[in-house]
Amino acid sequence: MRQIPRGIIISCQLEPGDPIEDVCFVVSMAKAAKYAGAVAIRTNEAKHVRAIKESLDIPVIGLVKDRNYKAFITPTFEHAKQVIEAGADLVAIDCTRNERPVELDKLFEQIRLEFPNVGIVADIADELDAERVQSLKPDFIATTLCGYTSYTQGWRIPNLDLVKKLSKKLFIPIIAEGGYSTVEEVEKAFEYGAYAVVIGTAITRPWLTIQRFVRRAQPFL
């Protein structure tokens, strides 16, 4: 079996500037996800990976976001090492055409050499990114960065067309990710061939949901 079975993956991340800074929040969310039948958790930072792995038995995709680089998701081996040593079963790597500090093939090679049991999720933004990374044989390709690069800026997400195209064309399983917020979108992604679907913000950033309600109430107050 692959490192992750087919199904729903919950992305549970906290970043600087978020109103919650508590690792317990990430762990509780991960527990809720597992209880409800999610097959894996995606999270950022070694401290979150470690806390989840210590509390429950579920595959974790780890990443580190470093905004000093344009290719900001786990841009170097050092970033990857942090989350892998914290217990991540897979590591997510920014595989866009954005400027990066290390060549992608070198980064893949070093991760595989030092951590042969850890899977690699290639986070891409468009079809060309996916085609290019295919030769490096990542375990999964995720549509995470569609809409978040200069060459996909303004594209509507979730990008179900991209999932459809990639699933048809590539031999690597596709993870649909980025902007999924309704059950209908998730159904479509599976219908179009997704191996798994990641849902994050719609579930694990509750302050954004609250803000939506608060803003709609404003004119009446």
Ligand X SMILES: CC(=O)N[C@H](C=O)[C@@H](O)[C@H](O)[C@H](O)COP(=O)(O)O
The residue among 68 and 135 lying less far from ligand X, judged by its C-beta, is 68
Number of other CB atoms surrounding residue 39 within 10 Å: 16
* Part in contact with ligand X (CB under 6 A); list of ranges 124-132, 160-168, 192-200, 213-221: 192-200
Element (H, E) at 114: helix 104-114
Q: What is the distance between the alpha carbons of residues 130 and 10, in angstroms, rounded to a whole number? A: 22
Report the chain's C-alpha Rg in angstroms: 17
- If one asks whether residue 192 binds ligand X (CB under 6 A), the answer comes out as no
The residue among 71 and 219 lying less far from ligand X, judged by its C-beta, is 71
Among 59, 119, 138, 200, binds ligand X (CB under 6 A): 200
The residue among 63 and 104 lying less far from ligand X, judged by its C-beta, is 63
Q: Are 71 and 103 in contact (CB under 8 A)?
A: no
Among 11, 98, 134, 167, binds ligand X (CB under 6 A): 11
Strand pairing class (40-44; 140-142)? unpaired
Binders in 56-85 for ligand X, by CB under 6 A: 63
- If one asks whether residue 149 binds ligand X (CB under 6 A), the answer comes out as no
Angle at 198 between CA 43 and CA 5, to 5 degrees: 90
Contact residues: ligand X, CB under 6 A: 11, 13, 63, 144-145, 148, 177-180, 198-202
